[in-house]
Amino acid sequence: MAILLAPMEGLLDFALRDVLTRVGGIDRCVSEFIRVTDTLLPARAFLRVVPELGHGSRTPAGVPVRAQLLGSDPICLADNAARLAELGSAGIDLNFGCPAKVVNRHGGGAALLQDPELLHRILTAVRQAVPGEVPVSAKMRLGFHDDDLAEDCARAIEAGGADELVVHARTKAHGYRPPAYWDRIADIRTSVRIPVVANGEIWTVDDARRCVEVSGCTDIMLGRGIVVDPGLALAILIDQGLPIAGQAQPDWPSLQPLLGYFWELILAHVEPRARTGRMKQWLNYMRKRHPEAQEAYMQIRTLTDSRLVDPIVRAWVGDAALPAPQSASTISED
């Protein structure tokens, strides 16, 4: 089983990728989307979203990060994919699943699932633009208004040259409302020959077990579930009977230093007015699983000044050693 970390705009950025891959169990990350319109982006635009490009396209824990592009113009996407390949991205992923209205209104994300022929042209252009050894993958939902074209879209993506397909088991119309329709992933999986990865509503070990059983997929992608429970990937692998050398599911004391490390990353890379919001965001997710996170969240819930939050976070960490934050490397913009 391979476990992938999902791309989630505004949540799973490089800082949380760094922290969660330190916990363990994740085999590959996909970055938040990089929006492509009608121009070739400079290197700094890619580095801003995927600073791991300056470190071999890997997190400090050594987990590969595949950059994701979002757009609808085949030629422009191909040009930017070629630039990403030059910068050493661990692969190119294409976003056909974003349900955001502002994205769909401009013909991107899940809106592309209404036009399988365009999906095929995009994949063909991107595949031809990057070296053969660079993997090209795509992430799709079941459809836009409904799932009538799900298999057609998957076949178009495969025919265009994709090496792998991640399927989020809901349509754009479903948004993020449960349930996820894992049985439809099974239908898609049998309609293509490329590997299919299951995604959607995997919050627990039991969810992962049922998703694998229903979808027929070997590999899964985790999103909000692993933000709530950073040890979820390890727990799933242990449940599958896979050996986890030297690693164990983290308890709250072992998570506290990582909260401190996350805070250090935020202080170093996030603008002051957004810093406390990022810490609250993660704790708000984690309190669904960890009672101690609820207590921590309540301590900073009303605070907006990072200078007031800083001593509180350091008190959580105590004497535990913090790993030094990894700073973004500078890539030439030529």
Distance of CA 185 to the CA centre of its chain: 19
**Helix (H) or strand (E) segment spanning residue 70:** strand 65-70
- Checking if the pLDDT of 249 tops 90, the result is no
Residues 194-235 have pLDDT tens digits of 999 999 999 999 999 999 999 999 999 999 999 999 999 999
- Cβ atoms of 66 and 101 within 8 Å: the answer is no
- Cβ atoms of 96 and 130 within 8 Å: the answer is no
What mean pLDDT comes out for the span 118-143?
A: 98
- Both tokens of 294, joined, read 């609820």
* One-letter amino acid for residue 140 of the chain: M
3-state secondary structure (DSSP) of residue 199: strand
- Cβ atoms of 309 and 300 within 8 Å: the answer is yes
* One-letter amino acid for residue 32 of the chain: E
In the structure, what pLDDT confidence band is assigned to residue 101 with cuts at 50, 70 and 90? confident
- Cβ atoms of 156 and 150 within 8 Å: the answer is no
Kindly report the average pLDDT of the chain as a whole number: 93
> Looking at the annotation, which residues are catalytic?
98
- Checking if the pLDDT of 137 tops 90, the result is yes
pLDDT value at residue 250? 84
Angle of helix 74-86 versus helix 116-129 axis, rounded to 10: 30
pLDDT value at residue 241? 84
What mean pLDDT comes out for the span 85-98?
A: 97
What mean pLDDT comes out for the span 267-295?
A: 96
C-alpha closest to that of 282 among 259, 313, 303: 259
The per-residue b/e assignment along 114-140, b for 16 or more CB within 10 angstroms, e otherwise, is: bbbebbbbbbbbbbebbeeebbbbbbb
pLDDT value at residue 246? 55
C-alpha closest to that of 328 among 2, 8, 11, 15: 15
- Both tokens of 180, joined, read 């996820």
pLDDT value at residue 328? 38
Helices and strands (H and E) in the chain: how many? 14, 8
Domains in the chain and their CATH numbers?
3-239 (3.20.20.70), 252-317 (1.20.225.30)
pLDDT value at residue 247? 63
- Checking if the pLDDT of 325 tops 90, the result is no
Exposure on the CB side of residue 29, measured as CA atoms within 13 A: 33
pLDDT value at residue 105? 82
> The dihedral of CA 238, 244, 246, 249: what is its sign?
negative
- Checking if the pLDDT of 186 tops 80, the result is yes
